[in-house]
Amino acid sequence: MASLSSRDQLIDYAFRRLGDPVIEINVDRQQAEERLDDALQLFTERHFDGVERALFTYQVTQSDIDNGFVNMEDLGAVNGASGATASTAPTGKDVVSVIKVHRFGDGTTNMFDVRYQMALNDYFGINRNLFMGTGQGLASYDSTKRYISMIEQLFEPEKMIRFNKVTNRLHIDMAWSEDVTVGKYLVIEAYVALSPTIFTEIFNDILLKKYVTALIKRQWGANLSKFDNVALPGGATMRGGEIFREAQEELDKLEEEVRLTYELPIDFGIG
């Protein structure tokens, strides 16, 4: 089994699958490079192995407050990217989609906060009916925490976010000048694209190998279709259009397989 770990190896593999060197594949190397780029784009956008869930910590600046959004290109390296150093880890430029901005605020640091008082008075006696315990143990504690969470969602709900990869701007629907101050940290949860340069196992993915081969085959058919039905020595004729149609059918099946098998499920909103 071919184990591939680079762009050149994958392109050569695709050419061999199409018949090279026994058959001349009429595709320029630059065309093959561009078809590989197309395949990697689909792999990143549609395949669950093409992205990684990651957390960014970002310190708010006055420019963010004035603009009313965070420019994702200003985000530094992701926290704890697997297999990557600080210099090679994904940054805000590699963000494919933003999942949420985690709740920010004072939390339980205020001693008069009800959550702080619950932790102070009930935590150690939660199963022993000590202090203010009701004798119902974890059930009572859990129901109280859920009730507090419901009140928070009613009076101080989590901020709605809007993100578009084209603009690469993260909009948080809030009164920026009131809800956040300069120096505060935002924790941004997002999906980042995995770099094939770092994670070369991408080139050995079976779906990517099939998809690149089909894309190059379609390019081959497109190139030959300009000379369809031209007679060759020996009585053979060009059949670029047929090769193109075969490749398109293969691509349609592969893209359907991606949608049904490899795409991440939709995150449904519940409310």
Residues 40-72 pLDDT 10s: 999 999 999 999 888 898 999 999 999 999 999
The structural domains of the chain, with segments of one domain joined by +, span 1-47+205-264, 114-155
202 versus 120: the higher-pLDDT residue is 202
Choose the weakest-confidence range: 172-176, 188-192, 207-211, 227-231. Answer: 227-231
Q: At what angle do helices 29-46 and 7-17 cross, to 10 degrees?
A: 110
Which of the four pLDDT bands, split at 50, 70 and 90, describes residue 96? very high
Which of the four pLDDT bands, split at 50, 70 and 90, describes residue 86? low
Q: At what angle do helices 29-46 and 206-224 cross, to 10 degrees?
A: 140
pLDDT above 90: residue 149: no
- Average of per-residue pLDDT values in the chain: 82
pLDDT above 60: residue 134: no
Which of the four pLDDT bands, split at 50, 70 and 90, describes residue 133? very low
The whole-number pLDDT of residue 235 equals: 56
Residue 62 C-alpha from the chain's centroid: 29
DSSP annotation of 262: I
The arithmetic mean of pLDDT across residues 186-194, rounded, is 92
The arithmetic mean of pLDDT across residues 243-247, rounded, is 94
Give pLDDT tens digits for 10-23: 999 999 999 999 99
199 versus 135: the higher-pLDDT residue is 199
Sign of CA dihedral 201, 204, 205, 208: positive
Burial code (b: 16+ CB inside 10 Å, e: under 16) for 229-267 equals eeeeeeeeebbbeebbeebeebbeebeeebeeebeeeee
The whole-number pLDDT of residue 270 equals: 42
pTM comes to 0.75
C-alpha to C-alpha distance for 260 and 210, rounded to whole angstroms: 16
Residue labelled with tokens 């000590």: 130
pLDDT over 70 for what percent of the chain? 75
